[in-house]
Structure 1
């Protein structure tokens, strides 16, 4: 068996190689290419270290178990429990120390009552951590959620979900992993979704009061009920950022923060609803879209999704929202409708944009919600004779649009219609091998595993 520190030694050696030869150079002097290489190497060192720290924490917990009494390792070292020992000696918080222990116990090999070796409780996470594909934060999110639904699901279902989650998690941020795991939890425990929705609806509230010249608002909405609010505010804020770019000489630049823009968006929405002079609200055609399979609509089997909301919803809730005013229901038959307008229209139609949302799920590169994206041609309509259809379109937020076009990335669409996949090919300056990277809904959606 390879020594636990062997992989860490290799990662540190790779970090040393990534640093320029003149090792004494300051970080600000090493150049962009080296900076990216060093950052990647640091990521691997961190993930390798996470695996070792988790194993050590689990063993400290084992050597400090209550039945040892005065022989407990933690107590011998002068600490009340193993979490306190780990926290004090590593400088992390008590909560982080407990998470280290929890992950370490989940990935450690086990023995049965007769001493036979058994695999780890979460073998896929264990393998991914030991191979430095998964860090502590992502591992903890996956383990905690799967353990939470253990009594309501089968072992085989959880094992398959763990495999899928571990396969998709590398390269995602902790928030994106959390979104992925939230979807997995809903699919594994579909019977529990609707009762949870009922419970959450009973906890909704909105409080308003005036203090020191301010109207103060404190509110909490069940995610499906709050979807129209979230969509409208995000669309208005996105429009304000676009407008802020068009600053004429002598004009004062718009320096409002995101939070200030969100507050102003709520004011605009209220003014618009009251029918005042601000009746040209720049929502940019944003809509709340409820997405479900035909079987979900007819038979009540499965789950549905609402654009911009991570939590899948029950069929009953989906049917209710699909019938509501200004809510667009999208019913899929598994094949996906292909919309093709050729060169009859330069701009993507509303129906085509909704189809692109089905395929890309939002920004195809960074996964921002659909309301913060625009449909862009892969080949310029005017210059390269690009066609206005799904195979020539992709959803991007403004930053990702400029990033792709300004830095030499290529985009390929694999397949047809709303079930096609978007692939990004980085320039050689980013990846000399130019390895394609999956984007769109297939990258970020748990249900799309093929």
Structure 2
């Protein structure tokens, strides 16, 4: 043992002696990669020692109630950290040989190993080995949070028939509980003009309620003044408005999901070249690059002006990614399609891959969902996006300073949930 620790000490001293400030970028990254791999290997070794300490009841012999409490006091770590070490050490020895080897080799990190252990622990014994191997393979691509998501559905991969039966039974039980537990109360308080609204809805009823009030819950400025209502106040007003409409005519307004109409006056050459400014209908200016970005998913009214500035013609709305096309994009992309982004569909814009000013069409094979941040990044950086002709899914080519080989990347987050 002393020799092993002495070797570790010598290796650490040699590592500390490396002049990291003098390393080139590639060498610096390689050095960090190697350190991380060795770090995970040391953690795996320490977990094996923790397991042995626990198995021998060392803590009890030293007056501690359990191994986790002993670790917490001896190494001054959080209680949660000590509990995780004991639990993970036991799981690696008992049920997870593939995970233990991957951790020892530095192929996965301890956070990934912990998520794999928690996912495998709740599975039937006969499916644990297959699930463990699949999750260890997935750990080469996904971090701990994504592994956690994958782990909740790993039974669907290794035993789809059993997973389907379990999911069906669980859904039936949940629907039954929700339906019988539905409740709505209006409670008047003496001396207070307010009435308390409280209750429970099953998911089907909640979906119908949201569909009814969402179109009326958006902020609505009045006379140039911002809407100062809180989100909760807007939802209350929307619910009351739905009731008023239902009482008046028996039907609710459709929510088309269109973006607000924006009137932008800009020369076509300015828009194409992205040099200069455009004018909004309130008289303010914005860069032509912003007008081009708005054109992806905003209702633009192209205005043709005469020499004296009078409006000669205002075209109809066009180039919108909405309605059936928007729904098809949501079904295909499931959220922001940029690699690694987890933003849901409701936070995304429709982006024309080939812009309409450059002859691009408003079609499924020329559109992709992007959140606001990545929409701006695609418009203002060398990142490129295209629809793969093989499977019809979007993929992104990074600039050379990120990946010299410029290998296409995809968002795997939404596709694996």
TM-score of the superposition, structure 2-length normalised?
0.61
Distance 1:95 1:42, change over 3 A: farther
Distance 1:185 1:232, change over 3 A: farther
Local SS of the residue matching 2:395: strand
2:355 maps to which residue?
380
**Aligned counterparts of 2:209 and 2:82: Cα–Cα separation in 1:** 38
Give deviations 1:207-244, integer Å, cap 9, x for gaps. 7778999887777766676566788899999x66xx99
1:423 maps to which residue?
395
**Aligned counterparts of 2:209 and 2:103: Cα–Cα separation in 1:** 39
> Rg: which structure is higher?
2
2:79 maps to which residue?
94
Local SS of the residue matching 1:60: helix
Match of 1:129 among 77, 99, 103: 103
1:333 maps to which residue?
none
1:401 maps to which residue?
375
2:63 maps to which residue?
78
Give deviations 1:168-227, integer Å, cap 9, x for gaps. 445655443332222324554221112222333316566777899988777776667656
Any conservation in 1 of the 2:258–2:322 contact (CA below 8 Å)? no
The 5-angstrom pairing of residues 59-70 of structure 1 reads 59-65=49-55, 68=56
**Aligned counterparts of 2:30 and 2:213: Cα–Cα separation in 1:** 36
The 5-angstrom pairing of residues 32-431 of structure 1 reads 49=39, 52-65=42-55, 68=56, 72-108=57-93, 121-151=95-125, 154-155=126-127, 158-169=128-139, 172=142, 174-186=144-156, 188=159, 189-201=163-175, 202=177, 261=231, 263-264=232-233, 266-267=235-236, 269-275=238-244, 284=257, 346-365=319-338, 366-382=341-357, 384-415=358-389, 419-431=391-403
**Aligned counterparts of 1:446 and 1:53: Cα–Cα separation in 2:** 29
2:302 maps to which residue?
none
**Aligned counterparts of 2:407 and 2:105: Cα–Cα separation in 1:** 20
- Displacement of 1:49 in angstroms is 3.9
- Counting matched residue pairs gives 333
Unaligned runs of 5+ in 2: 260-317
Any conservation in 2 of the 1:103–1:136 contact (CA below 8 Å)? no
> Higher relative CO (CA 8 A, sep ≥ 6), structure 1 or 2?
1
**Aligned counterparts of 2:361 and 2:17: Cα–Cα separation in 1:** 46
Any conservation in 2 of the 1:54–1:103 contact (CA below 8 Å)? no
**Aligned counterparts of 1:53 and 1:216: Cα–Cα separation in 2:** 54
Give deviations 1:127-183, integer Å, cap 9, x for gaps. 5434545333333223222221224xx43xx44444443344456554433322223
Matched, 1:436 2:405: no
**Aligned counterparts of 1:285 and 1:168: Cα–Cα separation in 2:** 38
Give deviations 1:14-56, integer Å, cap 9, x for gaps. 9977x6459xxxxxxxxxx98xx99998798667645533542
Give deviations 1:49-108, integer Å, cap 9, x for gaps. 45533542343233222xx4xxx2222343221111222344443333232233333334
Any conservation in 2 of the 1:165–1:446 contact (CA below 8 Å)? no
**Aligned counterparts of 2:165 and 2:345: Cα–Cα separation in 1:** 28
Unaligned runs of 5+ in 1: 23-32, 111-120, 287-344
Local SS of the residue matching 1:438: coil
- Displacement of 1:426 in angstroms is 2.1
Distance 1:150 1:433, change over 3 A: same
Any conservation in 2 of the 1:234–1:372 contact (CA below 8 Å)? no
Any conservation in 1 of the 2:41–2:103 contact (CA below 8 Å)? yes
Any conservation in 2 of the 1:347–1:388 contact (CA below 8 Å)? yes
Any conservation in 2 of the 1:409–1:427 contact (CA below 8 Å)? yes
**Aligned counterparts of 1:424 and 1:200: Cα–Cα separation in 2:** 40
Distance 1:81 1:409, change over 3 A: same
